[in-house]
Structure 1
Amino acid sequence: MKMTISGHHIEVTEALKSYVTAKLDKITSHFDDVVDTKVTLSVEKHKEKDGKHAECTLHIKGADLFAESSNADLYAAIDDMAAKLDRQVMRHKEKMQDHSKEAAKRAPVL
């Protein structure tokens, strides 16, 4: 899996990189067909809204998934973003499974 972590108005430290990598490794344990991951961490300093923002685009076999989250704490935003991506991956994995098995009540009687 190729992972790109970038920052916008923030320096991406090794601690942030390892934290994001640890959170996204849980997703790859659920689904092995992850091709590419792009994570952007940013800090917004506006008068209306002050906060940290984390967004991620996950390229997997059959779809592109996107999740974003904002919070006053960057680590909380990363946690929320990873949870959203995890739910999306599980939903995509469920759709990809073959559900076309014949029902038991319609199976031929031997």
Structure 2
Amino acid sequence: MQINIKGHHLEITQAIREYVSTKFTKLERHFDQINNVHVVLNVEKQQQKAEAKLHVSGTEIFATAENSDMYHAIDALIDKLDRQVIKHKEKQAKH
């Protein structure tokens, strides 16, 4: 799985990069057919926003989360993506 992290109005530090990559290993445990991940971290006034687009076999999965703390926004993003990845995996298993 290749993870691309970009920051808008935010410098991507090594700590944030490691935090994001460790969180995305959780998704990889549930579904191992994730090809690419594009993560965009954005700061607008007091709101921290995290967006991610997963390229999985057959489709793309997109989620976004906002919070006043970047780490909490990343956690919420991972939770949303986790639910969507499990749903996609179950759909594939039914076919």
1:25 Cα deviation (Å)?
0.7
Could you tell me which residue of structure 1 aligns to residue 68 of structure 2? 72
Could you tell me which residue of structure 2 aligns to residue 13 of structure 1? 13
1:4 Cα deviation (Å)?
0.2
Q: What is the aligned residue count?
A: 95
After superposition, residues 23-42 of structure 1 pair within 5 angstroms as 23-42=23-42
1:62 Cα deviation (Å)?
1.3
1:98 Cα deviation (Å)?
3.5
Moved over 4 A (4+): none
Gapped regions of structure 2 (runs ≥ 5): none
Amino acid in the other structure paired with 2:9: H
Which structure has the higher relative contact order (CA within 8 Å, separation 6+)? Answer: 2
SS at 2:12 equivalent: coil
Equivalents in 2 of 1:7, 1:54: separation in Å? Answer: 9
Normalised by the length of structure 2, the TM-score is: 0.97
Counting aligned pairs with the same residue, the percent is 46
Could you tell me which residue of structure 2 aligns to residue 43 of structure 1? 43
SS at 1:97 equivalent: helix
RMSD between aligned alpha carbons?
A: 0.9
